[in-house]
Amino acid sequence: MITIFHNPRCSKSRNCNLMLAKLNEKVEVINYMKTPFSFDSLSNLIRLLNIEPMTLVRTNEVVWKENFKGKDLSDAEIITAMLDHPKLIERPIVVKNNKAAIGRPIENVLKIL
């Protein structure tokens, strides 16, 4: 099974979701704006992606610039910021067979399918 953590307001996320829908596999679509991550689930996803939490942050978002930019934040504080403001989470994120990829560019997803 493939899981996509999806924000339907994002064109890259919608395009990735459409690509996955064309596969002959079951796809679980999770709109993380409506079904938010828990601290543990987001932490586990970051470990699966094999990245630092900061890599998952959309630093060009106004909420990041106004509230967090330039601050020395711990990993836990960065994760909490993403939980409090889910639009800060880079998207889409696709998981298959204990492998995960951020779908920017979409070719990253193709590598784990």
Residue 36 preceded by cis peptide, ω within 30: no
Yes or no: say if 93 and 55 are a contact pair by the CB < 8 Å rule. no
Active-site annotation holder among 4, 5, 6, 10: 10
Q: Which of 7, 2, 3 is nearest to 92 (CA)?
A: 7
Q: Is 16 a catalytic residue?
A: no
Distance spanning both ends of the chain, measured CA to CA: 10
Residue 92 preceded by cis peptide, ω within 30: yes
Strand partners, 72: none
Q: Which residues are catalytic?
A: 10
